[in-house]
């Protein structure tokens, strides 16, 4: 696996985590 791919995977995981927290927060508000 190249360094570029590793970076991409890390960013993807971070975005997924952010999306889940956002969705959880929204569902808590509504």
**How many whole angstroms separate alpha carbon 25 and alpha carbon 8?**
26
Identify the pLDDT of residue 30. 79
Identify the pLDDT of residue 29. 86
Give me the phi and psi of 8, to 5 degrees please: -60, -45
Q: What is the mean pLDDT of each run of 10 residues along the chain (30 residues)?
A: 92 98 92
- Positive or negative: CA dihedral 18, 24, 25, 26: positive
Q: Per residue in 1-30, is it b (16+ CB within 10 Å) or e — as a string?
A: eeeeeeeeeeeeeeeeeeeeeeeeeeeeee
Identify the pLDDT of residue 21. 97
Identify the pLDDT of residue 1. 67
Single pTM value for the model: 0.65
């Amino acid at each position: 696996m190249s360094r570029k791919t590793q970076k991409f995977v890390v960013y993807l995981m971070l975005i997924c985590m952010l999306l889940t927290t956002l969705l959880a927060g929204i569902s808590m508000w509504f």
